[in-house]
Amino acid sequence: MEGWRGAWYVPCLAAHETLQELCRKENLTCKSIGIANRNLKSYEVEYLCGYKVEEGTEYYLVKWKGWPESTNTWEPLENLKCPLLLQNFHNDQNEYLSRAKQGKALIMRKHGKALKPAVVDYIVKKAKQRVALQRWKEELNRKKNHKGMILVENTVDLEGPPLDFYYINEYKPAPGINVINGITTGCECSDCPAEKCCPKEAGCLLAYNKYRQLKIQPGLPIYECNSFCRCGPDCPNRIVQKGTPYSLCIFRTNNGRGWGVKTLQKIKTNSFVMEYVGEVITSEEAERRGQLYDNQGNTYLFDLDYDSDEFTVDAARYGNVSHFVNHSCDPNLQVFNVFIDNLDLRLPRIALFSTRPIKAGEELTFDYQMKGSIDPISDSADALSPARKRTRTVCKCGAVCCRGYLN
């Protein structure tokens, strides 16, 4: 556009629905967010946020999707064609009454009085949380590049999506760090693995069996075929690079461990589950951030110490589903170092494989002290270097063999 040469742009951080509300409030159309003349005045129930009975008729206060709250209206029950939203409304009401242990005093009756403010406040907060989690789920599934779906669930409290977390699919290197380096050639196999396939060229064993399950011991590296290899996408030595094959659910734990991750499908032993990604930073920067995270009770730093201790992965702000995987002293996932399009031993990719059969609905965990080897690092604070000594975080994994601390 001639008149906009030299202009710079700032990305809009407002939610899609917020922009729609602004358009409708000002009677404006905007094709890019789906507001046209044909639907400028359309109405769809987003959630229910109030209840009353007048002259024997039940009314619900309706929040209209894409409209500001100032346009909420009372609608008779007979006009509402949203059985799921009605069910959510009453479930949230009953949940509040149950938690407050005031059921008899607050049970809704069909008379002129409206619901008590505390009940309405809880119902509205739950409705807004449900909308926010649904939007977050949709955002996660738009950004992911793997096969499995991502679901989000919170039946524990009113916590919504994290405010300062950005989903990424691969390492986000800090300035000056190159995570794509060292690959100029690949194997010439037409049917991997052959005599000179990538693992053998690196002096290592092929990591996978014919069922594409891990067959090497913890501590040994995985070398997969890379972008220069002659083999195609169906090569049996391309596993981690294809991403998470399972549908997973980010859920709110009920024992104070925040968010967790559970699988929605059964997982066989020695199967690839997910990759641990985040910002790749120097160990010096990790030390600085670590002091801050310890004060917050967070643990997101993963040292890339396969060959040296120069770099760390920080999944606090940038990461994938692995950001939400909790620690356990008796985990069902094991850490492995993986090399694909980068042969720099200081910068392996971190893959999590199952250590045993995992049932659908079971929480996924790994040992935060496990650094891709047979044995975890010592759980003694004295084993840490002076620069690494920090406030210790109490472990809540509940395992019989719990060590008591995360670090």
Determine how β-strand 365-366 pairs with β-strand 259-263: unpaired
276 is an active site residue:
yes
Q: Which residues line the annotated binding site?
A: 187, 189, 192, 197-198, 225, 229, 231, 235, 257-259, 326-327, 329, 368, 395-397, 402
Locate all alpha helices (DSSP H) within 76-158, ordered by sequence.
83-100, 103-106, 117-143
- Left (φ > 0), alpha (ψ -120 to 50) or beta: where does 243 sit? left
Q: Which residues line the annotated binding site for Zn(2+)?
A: 187, 189, 192, 197-198, 225, 229, 231, 235, 329, 395, 397, 402
Using CB atoms within 10 Å of the CB of residue 386, give its burial: 0 to 12 exposed, 13 to 18 middle, 19+ buried.
exposed
- Non-local CB neighbours of 86 within 8 Å, separated by 6+ positions: 48, 60, 80
Of 167, 171, 208, 368, the catalytic one is 368
Q: Which residues line the annotated binding site for S-adenosyl-L-methionine?
A: 257-259, 326-327, 368, 396
What is the number of alpha carbons within 13 Å of residue 199 lying toward its C-beta? 18
Of 276, 300, 306, 318, the catalytic one is 276
Report residue 387: phi and psi, to 5°: -70, -20
Determine how β-strand 57-64 pairs with β-strand 73-76: antiparallel
59 is an active site residue:
no
Cα–Cα distance, 171 to 347 (Å, whole number) = 10
Provide the angle, in degrees to the nearest 10, between the axes of the packed helices 16-25 and 117-143. 120
Cα–Cα distance, 50 to 279 (Å, whole number) = 44
Return the number of other C-beta atoms located less than 10 Å from residue 120's C-beta.
17
* Residue among 307, 350, 351, 347 nearest 182 (CA): 347
Determine how β-strand 326-327 pairs with β-strand 365-366: parallel
Determine contact, residues 304/344, Cβ cutoff 8 Å. no
Catalytic residues, by residue number, are 276, 368
